[in-house]
């Protein structure tokens, strides 16, 4: 990763575990200084201690991205440093249900993280990068953002916002020297997925996802992680004809079926 263009500091939200932690490890190995943001203090400080033990300079912010004051909280740790890379890695969904039945705080929280906070962070740090004429922004997304799925209405809609927003931001920032990438993630072996009871042995390792994001930051606006089946699925669910049939046929499956699909795709890839 080019420290001169994207450094010296990288800000990573969702930076305590999973893909966020792997972004942190790989960036630290390249000499970046880090600001890590996450809600849970213990895993956040554990990762910070690990990276400091390897010589990295690390600041931490325990903050909830659903809260309206989250950017102000993070700015307390970044206003005095030069953030050249923003990795907005947050927004996993842990509650499924009919939109009209779910509590408003659940769906509002999904929208706050994936839409409002993502836009606020991109505006603030993107403006600083514009003024310097360099930098990079990675916004992580999901294949769910290509198609609405029942029991995931707010989540899929918010992820669709993230992708379209990134495409626009990419074109705006490109002539200003700032790279913008929507990193489209499929089934990944994150602790969050494991806590939901997902059999993650067939999922993409977090370190692979982070590596693809960093290696392709200049290849925006969208990069689909190369997990077998991801690109084909994106093509299938992006068709514009007969959206009713597309939504019925390709809506996100129940969690227990996700690992089965991932296993089938890996077997097909091995046989190719």
Please report where in the chains the tokens 């408003």 appear, as a residue: 104
The reply to whether 261 belongs to the active site is no
The H or E element spanning position 263 is: helix 255-271
Catalytic residue among 159, 261, 266, 270: 159
Query: How many angstroms separate the Cα of 272 from the Cα of each of 32, 201, 260?
Result: 39, 21, 19
| Cα gap 119→126, rounded to integer Å | 10
SS3 87: strand
Lookup: tokens for 38: 């996450």
Catalytic residue among 6, 125, 146, 155: 155
Sign of the torsion angle spanned by Cα atoms 193, 270, 224, 149? negative
The reply to whether 159 belongs to the active site is yes
Number of neighbouring beta carbons within 10 Å of residue 104:
7
Lookup: tokens for 208: 């692979």
Question: Please, which residues have CB within 8 angstroms of residue 190's CB and are 6 or more apart in sequence?
Answer: 17, 18, 19, 92, 200, 203, 206
Active-site residue set: 155, 159
């Amino acid at each position: 990763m080019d420290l001169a263009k994207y450094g010296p500091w990288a800000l990573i939200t969702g930076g305590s575990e999973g893909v966020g932690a792997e972004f942190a490890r790989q960036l630290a190995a390249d000499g970046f200084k880090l600001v890590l943001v996450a809600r849970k203090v213990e895993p956040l400080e554990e990762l910070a201690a690990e990276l400091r033990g390897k010589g990295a300079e690390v600041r931490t912010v325990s903050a909830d991205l659903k809260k309206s004051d989250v950017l102000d909280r993070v700015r307390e740790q970044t206003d005095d440093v030069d953030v050249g890379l923003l990795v907005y890695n947050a927004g996993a969904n842990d509650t499924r249900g009919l939109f009209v039945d779910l509590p408003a705080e659940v769906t509002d929280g999904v929208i706050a993280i994936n839409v409002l906070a993502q836009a606020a962070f991109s505006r603030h740090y993107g403006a600083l990068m514009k003024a310097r004429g360099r930098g990079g922004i990675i916004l992580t997304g999901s294949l769910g953002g290509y198609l609405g799925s029942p029991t995931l209405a707010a989540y899929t809609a918010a992820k669709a916002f993230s992708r379209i927003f990134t495409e626009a931001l990419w074109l705006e920032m490109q002539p200003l020297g700032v790279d913008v990438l929507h990193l489209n993630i499929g089934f990944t072996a994150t602790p969050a997925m494991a806590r939901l009871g997902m059999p993650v042995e067939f999922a993409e390792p977090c370190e692979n996802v982070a590596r693809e994001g960093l290696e392709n930051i200049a290849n925006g606006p969208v990069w689909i992680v190369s997990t077998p089946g991801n690109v084909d699925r994106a093509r299938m669910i992006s068709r514009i004809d007969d959206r009713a049939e597309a939504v019925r046929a390709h809506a996100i499956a129940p969690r227990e079926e996700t690992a089965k699909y991932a296993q089938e795709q890996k077997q097909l890839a091995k046989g190719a």
